[in-house]
Structure 1
């Protein structure tokens, strides 16, 4: 019996590797096809000028600065202090299918907490959480995570992300569709999760491209060594049609952004 089990294990491992290779191949093909659509650029920011022209900030502890290399975001230093989170939002709101492109460089050496891209965020519409999130900015001066997933409709992608606790420090990519006024993050996952290797080393620039459609999100992350593809699926939850783009850094994290571009499908 032991010999049978031991012989079966390599087959399982081999099948898992093949499955991953096939999945990543499918993701690349799907991304390539979506990227061929007729896209029209509707927002650009080199991120080297005054950030307040195009963005506004949730969080009073955080810092945002610009220089010739881009826009540096630095969250507060205290782990598990909600006041030390930050979210930077576009002034503009965007409709329909979108392609979001930017250059990202991780500036911290943390093995906890995450960066998040919010896609087309709007309030739940239940008072006081107006669909226009600028009408309740004051409620997000302390940008606790629950204020977002409990009261917003948005897609969320975690990247350059690590668990907050436990012995497993493996980086992951994960997407969600928030369901406001429900039970926290329960039921918000958009499968599958990904566990890439060789991405987001500190100081290494990465080009991130995200293509959002009604029920699928395609993602490509590229550095000088590799390109990594993901596809997240939303089969059942309500679609997201309009809202702002947001950049969240959890407490302790710091990142640089540059050459930010948003395109809309014609």
Structure 2
């Protein structure tokens, strides 16, 4: 009996370990252009032993100073995304960092499904070019408003964006992601659930949304958005899909 119980536990453990398979890994110490393309004429990216330092443009409240870094690779289905994140900028009123998950265009002639084909239209990466003309999940964190929230694009127009795209709940009054702190970020899109977790100094902060509030997002690229003046360092970015 004990032998069979041990075998069962081993099988359960093996199944759990095999649940995700790594399909993307960027240690962030090599040339970023191997794995990413950048939208934002005023943004810059550098690599070093400590990771990938990525900055939006320098002018607060200027749309041309936003930036988005996209994976060259596209993904589909359930995903798990992990990375180490360090906030470098110190302006606590400078907008948010956004993680885009499985982003595609609208599938029209003007906005093709492959967002790389329309990238030239976003050299000045105004937010409206994303939330009006893409299908994507969106997680905001390290924000000036001390919140973590999730959205599903597109919105019908700019006036309805805030309410019409937001998943409930919105997590507010948070004291997380302070300048100089390194956090281990995990985002999981798993069936009908979207989870976002931050780990720092032995403490874990977890957030969750039910994806059935909006139509399903099934495939696309992963993006790292920095609003004007935001600067952060990333290391060991890994993406997993279901085996």
Q: TM-score, normalised by structure 2?
A: 0.88
Q: Distance in 2 between matches of 1:59 and 1:214?
A: 33
The C-alpha deviation readout for 1:49-78, integer Å capped at 9, x for no partner, is 000000000011001000100000111111
- The question of 1:208 aligning with 2:185 is answered yes
Q: CA RMSD in A?
A: 1.6
Q: 1:192 to 1:44 in 2, by over 3 A?
A: same
Correspondence for 1:117: 99
| Deviation readout 1:28-64 (Å, 9 max, x if unpaired) | xxxxxxx877000000000000000000000110010
Contact 1:214 1:241 in 2 (8 A): no
- Find the counterpart in structure 1 of residue 149 from structure 2: 174
CA shift in 2, pair 1:214/1:154, >3 Å: farther
Q: 2:126: which partner in 1?
A: 144
Aligned to 2:144: 162
2:42 maps to 1:42: no
1: distance between equivalents of 2:208 and 2:156? 27
Q: Give me the whole-angstrom Cα distance separating, in 2, the residues matched to 1:231 and 1:107.
A: 26
Q: 1:222 to 1:39 in 2, by over 3 A?
A: same
Corresponding residue of 1:28: none
TM-score (norm 1): 0.81
Residue 115 (structure 2) aligns with? 133
Asked if residue 98 in structure 1 is aligned to residue 79 in structure 2, the reply is: yes
Contact 1:59/1:83 (<8 A) preserved: yes
Query: Counterpart in 1 of 2:168?
Result: 191
Distance 1:62 1:242 in 2: 26
Unpaired runs of at least 5, structure 1: 1-34, 164-170
Kept in 2: contact 1:98–1:213 (CA 8 A): yes
What is the DSSP-based 3-state SS (H/G/I as helix, E as strand, rest coil) of the residue aligned with 2:130?
A: helix
Deviations 1:90-122 (A, max 9, x none): 000001000000000000111120000000000
Q: Partner of 1:192: helix, strand, or coil?
A: coil
Segments of 5+ residues of structure 2 without an aligned counterpart are 1-15
Q: How many residues align?
A: 225
Instruction: Tell me the equivalent position of 2:5.
Output: none
1:61 is aligned to 2:42? yes
Contact in 2 for aligned 1:47/1:71 (Cα 8 Å): yes
Return structure 1 stretches of 4+ with deviation > 3 angstroms.
180-184
CA distance in 2, matches of 1:40, 1:263: 5
Q: How many Å separate the matches in 1 of 2:89 and 2:137?
A: 25
Q: Where does residue 52 of structure 2 map in the other structure? A: 71
Q: What's the CA shift for 1:139?
A: 0.4
Distance in 2 of aligned mates of 1:47 and 1:160: 20
Q: Report if the CA contact (8 A) 1:40-1:264 is conserved.
A: yes
